[in-house]
Amino acid sequence: MGRTTSDKRSVRSLLAEECEARLCLNSVSFVPHDVFAVEDTGERLGRVVAADMDGDGDIDVLSTGADNKIAWYENDGAGNFEEAGGHQFERRPSAFFGADVNGDGNGDLIVGVGRQFVWYEDDGTGSFDVQHVISENYRAKSLIAADVDGDGDVDLLTTCDCDGLAWYENTDGAGSFGKRQSISVVDFQSSGGAQSVVAADLDGDGDVDALSAWKYQGLAFNAWSENTDGAGNFGKQQVISTRGTLQGLSVFAADMDGDGDMDVLSAFASASSSRRPDDTITWYEKRLNGDSNDDNVFNSTDLVEVFRAGKYEDGIDHNATFDEGDWNLDGDFDSSDLVAVFEAGHYVAAARPLEAEIAAAVELAFGDDEDLRTAFVP
């Protein structure tokens, strides 16, 4: 028997009560506005990118379709779009982005097509006819424009069938690009390599770091590379997360929890072409290693809390959380976590409360190991 009108109203009432008790998705609505609709043509749309292509301060739309065209849809400033230009290719672009490459105030097209990275100059009318070659050696998987070296112009970050992750410097601010500079190196042909890249200030020092998604020897992982000097010299790749038997599809950086720093959002897919029950979208909270009480400081208070939790080398596999001392995220709290966080060098030795309690916790954990006891007792 179906629900009566009274039953349906009761369900609505219950849902309304739930929305009042907590943040509910239905408390807001996302009203659709078509930019472009395929009607009875059989055409398939591809990727979409948002960028201010005409320098008027609002966001326009770029998209690809099965006709191998990148189309530009101009925003009138009120969310109404009309096709205003684009470029037709002989083959479908594998990656693209929109940005003002030459500093003339117009958005240009940066494209990976075939085994080329190229950019097409907007002449101010929405026509992208003048081609400038960046590289002719690699096939792009993803690309993004960002000021990597802090000189005020647009550089290029890419993933490709090369040695992993790389960037190209806009050497003169007018669209002349230098040679490829590797950020992280992995054999693409044998492993799958880097799948996507975004530019974000992950460490909060004011410059652009590289965040990427990978598949490598049967594993999927996300990683970031620090722009160590703000001039495009990158440090060693740091793995954020790994997933077995999956492949990293895409990654994004955003402040997911509103605490003022960048977190990581990622999509993973099963390596199997069949039904994919293991496909996941996951976000990773940025935390200071060792900071178990989440007060943005690693100090003696954190040591007291993790030893009180009683998970230190307790013989039970994978039963510890970050807040309980698993700072290297392997599921256990052991000496490797302590070594890693103290080697990082951000332990705050000032303001040491409860010194006797810390000493007792270390004594309990390390016993007769004099070296470790000396390292951790205040």
DSSP one-letter string for 291-356: -TT-SS-BSHHHHHHHHHHT-BT-S-TT---GGGT-TTSSS-BSHHHHHHHHHHT-B--SS---HH
pLDDT given at position 172: 97
| Helices and strands per DSSP (H, E), number in the chain | 6, 19
pLDDT given at position 165: 87
Element (H, E) at 14: helix 5-21
Query: Would you call 378 helix, strand, or coil by DSSP?
Result: coil
Q: How many CB atoms lie within 10 A of CB 132?
A: 17
pLDDT given at position 265: 86
Evaluated on CA atoms 279, 285, 287, 292, the torsion sign reads negative
Instruction: Give the C-alpha separation, 20 to 367, whole Å.
Output: 53
pLDDT given at position 111: 95
Pair of tokens at residue 312: 């230190």
Q: What is the pLDDT along the chain (378 residues), one digit of tens a residue?
A: 444 444 444 544 544 454 444 444 455 556 777 777 655 445 566 788 899 999 899 999 998 877 888 999 999 999 999 999 889 998 889 999 999 999 999 999 999 999 999 999 998 888 898 999 999 988 888 999 999 999 999 999 998 876 678 999 999 999 999 999 998 765 444 456 788 899 999 999 999 999 998 877 767 788 899 999 999 999 988 888 777 655 667 788 989 888 888 998 888 776 655 545 566 778 888 888 899 999 889 998 999 999 999 999 999 999 999 999 999 888 899 999 999 888 888 788 754 444 555 555 555 555 555 554 444 444
Q: How many CB atoms lie within 10 A of CB 186?
A: 18
pLDDT given at position 194: 81
CB 308 within 8 A of CB 300: no
Instruction: Give the C-alpha separation, 371 to 338, whole Å.
Output: 13
